[in-house]
Structure 1
């Protein structure tokens, strides 16, 4: 019975979440058309709404730890579900992503993504997208802000293992920007797929920045070590036990 009640609460939470996405998108669009700050305010307001409603509708509280980056940096985050995106975007001032090219045509998400400076990537052409991103950063054409990247390339369920891809190291080396690693345990409560949301405390933690200057391979090994180690600690804190 307890599971069924929590599932029903999760379902209602999801319904209102997508309703508010449409409502806030419409509300902020006039401002966002004329001023990019309107788009940032719209996405940040939505993400904070989701965090707030999750806390009392399904008992899922969220916490940001560490120093929130506000300079023009790369944020290399562990990615477990939509919730880690929501949490990071709710606190950084000018977020942007490398996103799937198909999302350009997605209602609401696509237009707002392009408006805040996200870079669309065709499947199988990630290297081309990285070259484009580097060129825009160096030329000053890209909007300043915090580029959020997922070094494993996709959502990874708690306990699963995927290698860290070299694209993050290429961006780090070519842009000369500081990288802020971010660890998380959100997948314990908000899975990659499905409706059920588990009560608890989901955490995203910004770790010590990695200044420019490291070689690609040592940088990537260090990034993986600090993010995976801290994410595993946060998941254990949340009660998750990995299966060998």
Structure 2
């Protein structure tokens, strides 16, 4: 019975957050049309709403550890579910993601994502998209901020291993910015697919930055080691052993 009750609560929560996405999108639209700050304010407001309602609707509390960057950096994060997007973006002042191109056509999400500076990427054409993005940044057509990328390219369930893709290393090289790794355990509570949201404490952790200028291969090894080690520790803290 408790599982059924939690599922119903989860369904109500999911309906709530998408309904509020539309409401906030409409309320902030006049400001967002004329200002990137308006779009950022709308997205930050929605992130706060998701975190607040998750706590009392489904018993899912959230925590952001470490020091979120406020300068112009590359953020390379563990991606387990939509919740890490909410927590990471909500913690930084001017976040922008490298996102799947098909999200451009999603109602509200697509329009606001483009307005805050997200970079659409074609699956299978990632290298071309990265070159264009680097070019745009160099020419000043992108507003400064925190560029967020998921090095494994997609959501990875807890305990599943997947390679880190070279695109993050290319960005690190070309942008010449420090990289802030981010670990997460959020997939234990908010899975990749499905309605169920589990009670507990979902955490993202901003780790010590990797300075700009390292050899690309060395950078990728250090990034993967830091993110995977810290993510494993967060999952073990929540009672899940990804190595078992």
Q: TM-score, normalising length from structure 2?
A: 0.98
Indicate the residue corresponding to 2:171 in structure 1: 171
- 1:243: Cα distance to partner? 5.6
- 1:241: Cα distance to partner? 2.3
Indicate the residue corresponding to 2:71 in structure 1: 71
Indicate the residue corresponding to 1:206 in structure 2: 206
Indicate the residue corresponding to 1:148 in structure 2: 148
1:85 & 1:113 partners in 2: Cα distance?
A: 12
2:125 & 2:216 partners in 1: Cα distance?
A: 20
Runs of 4+ in 1 over 2 A off after TM superposition: 241-244
Q: TM-score, normalising length from structure 1?
A: 0.98
* 1:211 aligned counterpart, secondary structure: coil
- 1:68-122 per-residue CA deviation (whole Å, 9 max, x = no partner) reads 1110101000000000000011111111111111111111011001100111111
- 1:103-142 per-residue CA deviation (whole Å, 9 max, x = no partner) reads 1111101100110011111121100111011111222111
Structure 1 residue runs without a partner (length 5+): none
Indicate the residue corresponding to 1:116 in structure 2: 116
- 1:189-213 per-residue CA deviation (whole Å, 9 max, x = no partner) reads 0000000011000000000001111
- Aligned pairs (5 A) from 1:5-44: 5-44=5-44
- Is 2:232–2:241's contact at 8 Å kept on the other side of the alignment? no
- 1:242: Cα distance to partner? 2.6
Indicate yes or no: 2:86 matched with 1:101. no
1:234 & 1:123 partners in 2: Cα distance?
A: 30
1:123 & 1:227 partners in 2: Cα distance?
A: 24
Structure 2 residue runs without a partner (length 5+): none
Indicate the residue corresponding to 1:56 in structure 2: 56
2:121 & 2:241 partners in 1: Cα distance?
A: 35
* 1:90 aligned counterpart, secondary structure: helix
1:164 & 1:242 partners in 2: Cα distance?
A: 17
- 1:183-238 per-residue CA deviation (whole Å, 9 max, x = no partner) reads 00000000000000110000000000011111111100000000000000000001
